[in-house]
């Protein structure tokens, strides 16, 4: 059977306040086209469909239209909640998704309560263990819902996750394709810098927690496409768009998985072309301008070195419409005159040195500062 693995759509994500809705529509349409062209049986979306727990109506429309489009080219679509998703919202729409052949894992559940999905696709029996994201705050309650006894007194995150996966894997069969879908941070996987840090470093689990009987483990959470070293076949598909500048230069992909009972799956990364790329440019003002003009449609982050002047950032933004972030590379402020007495020196002189130390001298700004001081010193009139 053929599986398409994608994750971390993050629909609703902006880039410094700019909407990326059209990019998401384009890349999700590309994923639908790949699924149809490769005649996949099953599509897996391993969490973080949305960028926020309270998505806008536009974001919900984009996601649900994409899921329905996928059901028109694949027999089944399986989704799970990621740390950015609201599992309660997914639970609310689950009864509407199921008749459309979209299976939703909202909260971690026991095998008998929907945590283990049993399917027959193209004559192949399939067992899918669903492990949506669960926080440390929720982990004890999740294991109680799965009716796992003896774990209430331990707070170790890894112990609970491993026990939940073991319980789900009890339903795996040697004559079936056994899959795990998990939104989690696995040791050996590398974050890109755009993931939510609070939901990474406190939630790492080793690859050994995943059942060796799984033919394939479809992971979500890290935004770079990568295989995780371990005893099984564990892959992150990564995000379909470059979501932030930590992902600049990454080639975005989906994963095509060919799986057969009793055998390790084979994995083929398929590159995605839709979406604008992110690029960091550096140099003096004129160098940044030249690089930016040659960057085409890429979103730009600029680090400016050398002298600065009032209005420089606004002028650059006016000439480079895709410039979404400007950083100033400066010297360590305040060291040159840190030990000098300042009490008896004019404010205008101190302000001029302040600008000089930051390589931002501008006589117009100094003159304006002087005018403001004069206004403050002027006597009040009735």
CATH code, domain carrying 87:
3.60.21.10
Confidence of residue 382 (pLDDT cuts 50, 70, 90): very low
Residue 248 CB contacts under 8 Å (≥ 6 apart), including other chains:
242, 277, 278, 279, 280, 301
* Residues 200 and 347 occupy one common structural domain: no
- Decide: 132 and 81 in contact? Cβ < 8 Å: yes
Q: pLDDT, tens digit, for every residue of 198-231?
A: 555 567 899 999 999 999 999 999 999 999 998 8
- Both 359 and 315 in one domain: the answer is no
- 226 and 249 in a single domain? The answer is yes
Number of domains in the chain: 3
Co-location of 76 and 145 in the same domain: yes
Instruction: Give the domain range for residue 283.
Output: 277-329
Question: Are residues 369 and 307 part of one domain?
Answer: no
| Predicted pLDDT at 301 | 93
Whether residues 198 and 69 share a domain: the answer is yes
Are residues 144 and 282 located together in one domain of the fold? Answer: no
- Identify the pLDDT of residue 381: 43
- The reported pLDDT for the residue numbered 298 is 93
pLDDT at residue 228, as a whole number: 96
Note whether 41 and 84 are same-domain residues.
Answer: yes
Same domain membership, residue 41 and residue 11: yes
How buried is residue 191: exposed, middle or buried, by Cβ count under 10 Å (0-12/13-18/19+)?
middle
The model's pLDDT over 220-261, given as tens digits with 9 standing for 90+, comes to: 999 999 999 988 999 999 999 999 998 988 999 999 999 999
136-160 pLDDT per residue, tens? 777 666 666 666 655 555 567 888 8
Average pLDDT over residues 324-344: 58
Report the CATH number that the domain containing residue 290 is assigned in CATH: 3.30.160
> How does the average pLDDT of the chain come out, rounded?
87
Instruction: Give the model's pLDDT for residue 334.
Output: 45
Query: Which pTM was predicted?
Result: 0.81
Cα(24)–Cα(61) distance, integer angstroms: 11
Shared-domain flag, residues 41 and 87 = yes
- 281, 238: one domain: no
Same domain, yes or no: 292 and 380: no
């Amino acid at each position: 059977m053929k599986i398409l693995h994608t994750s971390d759509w993050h629909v609703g994500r902006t880039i410094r306040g700019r909407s990326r809705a059209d990019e998401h529509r384009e890349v999700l349409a590309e994923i639908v086209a790949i699924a149809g062209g490769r005649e996949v049986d099953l599509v897996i979306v391993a969490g973080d469909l949305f960028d926020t727990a309270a998505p806008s109506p536009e974001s919900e429309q984009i996601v649900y239209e994409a899921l329905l489009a996928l059901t028109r080219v694949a027999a089944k679509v399986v989704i799970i909640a990621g740390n950015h998703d609201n599992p309660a919202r997914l639970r609310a729409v689950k009864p509407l998704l199921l008749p459309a052949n979209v299976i939703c894992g909202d909260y971690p559940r026991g095998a008998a309560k929907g945590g283990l999905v049993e399917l027959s696709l193209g004559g192949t029996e399939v067992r899918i263990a669903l492990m949506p994201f669960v926080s440390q705050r929720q982990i004890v309650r999740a294991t109680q819902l799965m009716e796992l006894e003896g774990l209430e007194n331990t707070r170790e995150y890894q112990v609970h996750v491993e026990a939940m996966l073991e319980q789900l894997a009890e339903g795996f069969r040697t004559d079936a394709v056994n899959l795990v879908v998990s939104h989690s941070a696995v040791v050996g996987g590398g974050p890109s810098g755009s993931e939510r840090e609070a939901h990474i470093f406190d939630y790492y689990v080793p690859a050994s927690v995943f059942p060796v009987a799984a033919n394939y483990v479809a992971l979500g959470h890290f935004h770079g496409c990568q295989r995780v070293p371990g005893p099984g076949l564990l892959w992150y598909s990564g995000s379909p768009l470059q979501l932030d500048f930590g992902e600049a230069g990454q080639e975005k992909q989906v994963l095509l998985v060919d799986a057969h009972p009793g055998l390790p799956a084979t994995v083929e990364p398929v590159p995605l072309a839709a979406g604008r790329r992110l690029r960091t440019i550096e140099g003096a003002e004129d160098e940044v301008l030249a690089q930016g003009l040659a960057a085409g449609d890429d979103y730009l982050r600029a680090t400016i070195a050398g002298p600065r002047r009032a209005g420089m950032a606004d002028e650059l933004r006016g000439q480079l419409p895709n410039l979404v972030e400007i950083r100033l590379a400066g010297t360590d402020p305040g060291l040159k005159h840190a030990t000098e007495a300042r009490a008896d020196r004019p404010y205008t002189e101190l302000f001029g040195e302040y600008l000089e130390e930051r390589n931002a001298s501008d006589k117009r700004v100094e003159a304006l500062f002087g005018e403001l001081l004069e206004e403050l010193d002027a006597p009040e009139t009735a």
